[in-house]
């Protein structure tokens, strides 16, 4: 079982510093796409967390199951209205199976990078394919690696700088890794956490999908389905299991 970096302290504040991600402008286009792909079928979320997308998708009438490694994150989900409609399983989403056959599996907000080896990421695609019915879809939202913004010789980039929070990503280019460092001020006390990730390229994800028997159907820059270009900093990709 992988290490759980999302314990109680992280889970308690998980929804707070990313407030823009919980607004209608961020959530509604994602739910529109996922509900469209699900149709009359069910959905399974890998890394369901606190239910940012699962809860509104469930309210849209889609039956949702979720897998997450962190009991603390799932406890935050369980405390929210509507959580009783969602089935949750504690486990590693690269390998954990839940009963049923699904029209769509999805993995959002860079969570594929929580799997810190290529082998685990490949296994995740295989697990998604095993959950999908024929014709089903696997959706991933993930950043495009930011390496071209690193000046020569530098390995660290800030992603958040405010009065009460600092965040930095440190890159290990040789091993395709990064560690995300978070610093919070709680009164007079400084708290910190560091979470490892493995960044992954779009073409690499496509190869993982092919190994799992999935075919690329769509790739956009965002949930609004904007074209994916050389300047895109993230992508929403959809692979399909053959009918």
* Residue 189 belongs to domain spanning: 147-194
Same domain, 230 and 131: yes
Same domain, 53 and 136: yes
Q: What is the pLDDT of residue 1?
A: 66
Same domain, 31 and 151: no
Q: Three-state secondary structure along the chain?
A: CCCCCCCHHHHHHCCCCCHHHHCHHHHHHHHHHHHHHHCCCCEEEECCCCCCCHHHHHHCCCCEEEEECCHHHHHHHHCCCCHHHCEEEECCCCCCCCCCCEEEEEECCCHHHHCCCHHHHHHHHHHHHHHEEEEEEEEEEEECCCHHHCCCCCCEEEEEECCCEEEEEEEEHHHCEEEEEEEEEECCEEEEEEEEEECCCHHHHHHHHHHCCCEEEEEECCCCCCECCCCCCEEEEEEECCC
Q: Does any domain span residue 2?
A: no
Same domain, 103 and 155: no
CATH number of the domain to which 79 belongs: 3.40.50.150
Per-residue pLDDT for 2 more than 80?
no
Same domain, 13 and 45: yes
Q: What is the pLDDT of residue 218?
A: 98
* Average per-residue pLDDT for the chain: 94
Q: What is the pLDDT of residue 7?
A: 80
Of 2-6, 40-44, 100-104, the least confident: 2-6
Same domain, 76 and 108: yes
Same domain, 174 and 73: no
Q: Does any domain span residue 181?
A: yes
Grade residue 17 by pLDDT with cuts at 50, 70 and 90.
low
Same domain, 175 and 206: no
Same domain, 57 and 108: yes
Q: Does any domain span residue 176?
A: yes
Total domain count for the chain?
2
Grade residue 140 by pLDDT with cuts at 50, 70 and 90.
very high
Whether the full predicted model's pTM is greater than 0.85, yes or no, is yes
Grade residue 118 by pLDDT with cuts at 50, 70 and 90.
very high
Q: Does any domain span residue 96?
A: yes
Q: What is the pLDDT of residue 25?
A: 85
Same domain, 104 and 151: no
Q: Does any domain span residue 1?
A: no
Q: Does any domain span residue 136?
A: yes
Same domain, 184 and 87: no
Q: Please give the share of the chain, as a percent, with pLDDT higher than 90.
A: 80
Same domain, 104 and 218: yes
Tens of pLDDT, residues 182-239: 998 888 889 898 999 999 999 999 999 999 999 999 999 999 999 999 999 999 999 9
């Amino acid at each position: 079982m992988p290490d759980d970096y999302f314990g109680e302290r992280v889970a308690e504040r998980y929804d707070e510093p990313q407030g823009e991600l919980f607004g209608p402008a961020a959530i509604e286009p994602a739910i529109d796409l996922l509900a469209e792909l699900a149709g009359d079928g069910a959905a399974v979320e890998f890394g369901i967390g606190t239910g940012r997308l699962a809860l509104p998708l469930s309210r849209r009438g889609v039956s949702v199951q979720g897998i997450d490694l962190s009991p603390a994150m799932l406890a935050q989900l369980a405390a929210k209205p509507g959580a009783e409609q969602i089935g949750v399983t504690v486990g590693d989403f690269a390998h954990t199976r839940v009963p049923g056959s699904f029209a769509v599996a999805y993995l959002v907000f860079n969570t594929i990078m929580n799997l810190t080896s290529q082998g685990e990421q490949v296994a995740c695609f295989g697990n998604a394919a095993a959950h999908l019915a024929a014709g089903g879809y696997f959706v991933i939202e993930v950043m495009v690696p930011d390496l071209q913004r690193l000046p020569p010789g530098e390995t660290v980039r800030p992603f958040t700088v405010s009065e009460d929070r600092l965040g930095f990503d440190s890159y290990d280019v040789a091993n395709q890794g990064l560690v995300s460092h978070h610093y919070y001020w709680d009164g007079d006390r400084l708290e910190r956490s560091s979470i490892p990730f493995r960044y992954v390229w779009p073409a690499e994800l496509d190869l993982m999908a092919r190994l799992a028997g999935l075919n690329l159907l769509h790739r956009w820059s965002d949930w609004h389905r904007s074209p994916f270009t050389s300047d895109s900093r993230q992508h929403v990709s959809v692979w399909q299991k053959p009918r």
